Amino acid sequence: MSTRPANAMDLLWQRLGANRDGTSFAKVGAEIMATWREDAPVSMEHDERVAFGRRAVLDIVIGVCDRAPELDSDWFAISAQS
């Protein structure tokens, strides 16, 4: 794992864009907010859907970082909106 540069969020934002794989992204201050399209089964509990969505967003971030040599997915955390 390399040291996270000060502009890591800006670099990620440049690569992510506003929409990727049905998930919308918005840069808000120093954070990037994600709105995941909920296509999880209705029968799932709310907590399960949240975890499913977090994993989907994490997979997008990992995929973007894997294709960008200036990024490392270990620099970023994916949390549920509070």
pLDDT in tens, 9-68: 999 999 999 999 889 999 999 899 999 876 666 777 888 888 888 999 999 999 999 999
Contact between residue 37 and residue 46 where contact means Cβ atoms under 8 Å apart: no
- Kindly report the backbone phi and psi dihedral angles of residue 19, in degrees, each rounded to the nearest multiple of 5, phi listed first: -150, 130
Residue 17 phi/psi, 5° resolution?
A: 75, -175
Q: Report the alpha-carbon distance of residue 50 to residue 30 in Å, rounded.
A: 22
Q: For 67, phi and psi rounded to 5 degrees?
A: -95, 0
Please provide the size of the chain in residues. 82
Residue 26's pLDDT is what?
Answer: 95
